[in-house]
Amino acid sequence: MIANFAAMDVRPGSMGCPFSLLALDQIVNNAATLRHMSGGQLSVPLVVRMATGGGRQLAAQHSHSLEGWFAHIPGIKVLAPATPADARGLLLAALEDPDPVFVFEHATLYPTEGEVDESAGPAEIGRAAVRREGSAVTLITYGGSLPKALQAADRLAVEGLEAEVIDLRSLRPLDTRAILASVARTHRAVIVDEGWRMCSFAAEVSAQIMEQGFYDLDGPVARVCSAEVPMPYAKHMEDAALPQVATIVATVQERLGRRG
């Protein structure tokens, strides 16, 4: 079946993740902690879906990517589907989970269409997917940045650089094993994350690679993140603030010594 990413009656305009900050006390101090504080006697089977990301000219209050903030919190799971099949499979998994699960859906992906197996069960939480195989560099990303990473891999392939693209799908728990296995094959890593660079989720992925896969690296890990500004409204400024295909390509070329 061909399905739309937003097949489940989503209203992107009213569910932007920046507004979830109004509920942080209930999320951080209650939902995330009750199982631990009750010695396992209480659970909070809560599923929260939120639109995340920029690229729609909705300015700062509707465009930030805060999934990295939530991934910092023990006691909750954070998912970031990038395909219609994952939007369905990960939501099914979230609904079966006894603990809080936050699903961050990049708003620019809502029109995306793709094959969905109606008979498929829940996806596995905490399992990354290799969306493209390669040997020159590992591009690690999730959500709305996945299409950009795949486009960048296509451009790099024209130059004879085959990039492997890892779709994290789950930020907490994080599939570190898949990341390290890919880096062991390619020996270089570039992380694409629409969050701000300072204290970003990309920084955590980079740290995991440096701590556990340092000797597999032939060069430093690189990060492609959003500019350190509230998201602009003007289209040309918003484009400049967000990670773009050209920036990903240029970062890989620089790391591989292909630029002057």
Q: Say if CB 190 and CB 248 are below 8 A apart.
A: yes
The answer to the question of residue 124 being in a domain is no
What the block records as the tokens of 170 is 């789950």
> 157 and 73 in one domain?
no
> 19 and 65 in one domain?
yes
Domain limit, last residue, from 87, 115, 143: 115
The rounded distance, in Å, linking the Cα atoms of 118 and 176 is 29
> Cis omega before residue 173 (within 30°)?
yes
> 175 and 62 in one domain?
no
Helix (H) or strand (E) holding 163: strand 163-167
Q: Which domain holds residue 102?
A: 2-115
- Residue 19: what pLDDT? 86
The rounded distance, in Å, linking the Cα atoms of 212 and 195 is 23
Domain limit, last residue, from 64, 82, 115: 115
Mean pLDDT, consecutive 10-residue stretches, the chain (260 aa), reads 56 68 93 95 94 88 92 97 96 96 95 89 97 98 97 97 98 98 98 96 98 96 96 93 96 82
> 136 and 238 in one domain?
yes
> 134 and 53 in one domain?
no
The number of folded domains in the chain is: 2
The answer to the question of residue 140 being in a domain is yes
> 160 and 102 in one domain?
no
Q: Is 145 exposed, middle or buried (0-12, 13-18, 19+ CB in 10 A)?
A: buried
- Residue 11: what pLDDT? 47
> 245 and 134 in one domain?
yes
The answer to the question of residue 121 being in a domain is no
The bridge status of strand 77-79 relative to strand 113-115 is unpaired
Domain limit, last residue, from 82, 115, 148: 115
Domain harbouring 23, CATH code: 3.40.50.970
> 219 and 154 in one domain?
yes
Domain harbouring 202, CATH code: 3.40.50.920
Tens-place pLDDT, residues 162-188: 999 999 999 999 999 999 999 999 999
